Structure 1
């Protein structure tokens, strides 16, 4: 990581002592982001806000319960900022005619990144719930050129994801339903960044969401997943639509983690 990248990283200890700058804790209805906000508020409350890019309509219904319980635990209101242009991710897909590709996921940009940019003020310190296992993601964020002042209290304190889950349980907050269903993240029901194993799990747990996304793929003429084949000693990748996906394909546990945050694409 270069010195240019590091100038935008603010250590947890510095955040807790500098009460003049606004601290924005980005909550995502996940355990790690809740824990990060808790650690900040435990040290200081002046000029601190907790913000959620409101995508509840696309997420598991249990997230509404989780948000309220975390809000009570933190002792501050969680501000819910929502896109003024799109109602939900399906609205994004239909209007932009885009799912996911080299430009990333349009739903993430429209419903989170644009919302964050509108909320931001010069000088803000943004708090993200990346754990100590996610240092590659932290380095990627800091080197992305976004020039956002960022604090990662969980990494600064060497806190792992399992410890954030334990923290919530000690606060008598039931973990979100998606964690109990053994999903690694609490994203939308059927994320366009997911692989074959992930989508086969969605097919089993949320068949209506799977079918709706399969229809959306056909409507747009694009596919989330790709399949590889060898022909004449040349490996090629072709589209694999969800309605063609082998129910036994993929292995969710070994697939890359899904990242969908306010600075992602």
Structure 2
């Protein structure tokens, strides 16, 4: 939606898609549908040093995720923005009104960036954007159809117990592979909680130790279109 609104405003953007092999294969179908909708070609790029694979990043760097984020994001996406971007570029990013703090954190980390937060300026939420894409006749990516809140890789290391137990059901082989990587690196993604005598305790567990009844994962709510959504649709 950020790209479509930018084009509608007269901007002629250069559009990149950072390929990551662990993403759902339906993403390419979605990319082509959007490409037709934009009337602009999308350039597919990737970090060949890591075979465009998050798993290769994990194994080569011996790192999964930490307080500063996931290593795969830094290696497979952020580094490509630095490689293909120019210092005076204006970045059109799809942060929505409910993600405004992410823009703040990004600018804190990279204060020289020039960003056009077009969705935030137009007061569009994620739910607005999902609805607008569907109303344009484009089927949402498969991960949304399966009830995931984000179209991340299949088995995102930023997820926790409820998310990983859903992955265990929907993508059992992917769950097993990530459990294997955890053991190889001796790293644990998930935390579990329990209480004794009124005290709360947390500890990390390997995926192959994760009880299948721990955690909860609420699916993406059905999308709605409000007044700001309707105003933005009028622009395109």
Q: Is the pair's TM-score, using the shorter chain for normalization, greater than 0.5?
A: yes
For 1:251, what is the secondary structure of its paired residue?
Answer: coil
Over 3 Å counting, the alpha-carbon distance change for 1:102 and 1:162 in structure 2 is closer
Q: CA RMSD in A?
A: 1.9
1:71 aligns with 2:71: no
Q: CA offset at residue 239 of structure 1?
A: 2.3
Cα displacement (A) at 1:235? 6.0
Rounded Cα–Cα distance in structure 2 between residues aligned with 1:104 and 1:239: 17
Deviation at 1:142, TM superposition (A): 2.4
Give the number of aligned pairs. Answer: 218
Q: How does 1:1-265 map to 2 (within 5 A)?
A: 35-46=1-12, 48-55=13-20, 57-87=21-51, 88-228=53-193, 237-253=202-218
Aligned to 1:6: none
Give SS of 1:79's match.
Answer: strand
Taking the aligned partners of 1:232 and 1:173, their CA distance within structure 2 comes to 52
The secondary structure found in structure 1 opposite 2:17 is strand
2:230 corresponds to: none
Residue 138 (structure 1) shift: 2.3
Does structure 2 conserve the Cα–Cα contact (< 8 Å) formed by 1:195 and 1:252? no
Q: In structure 1, how many angstroms separate the alpha carbons of the residues matched to 2:138 and 2:125?
A: 18
> Aligned with 2:48: secondary structure?
coil
Q: Secondary structure at the residue paired with 1:194?
A: coil
TM-score (norm 1): 0.77
Q: Deviations over 1:105-157 (max 9, x none)?
A: 11111101111111110111101111111122222222234421111111100
Tell me the SS of whatever aligns to 1:143: helix
Q: Could you tell me how far 1:164 is from its partner in structure 2?
A: 1.1
CA distance in structure 2 between the partners assigned to 1:184 and 1:51 by the alignment: 23
TM-score with structure 2 length normalisation?
0.86
The SS at the match of 2:55 is helix
Structure 2 gap segments, 5+ residues each: 220-236
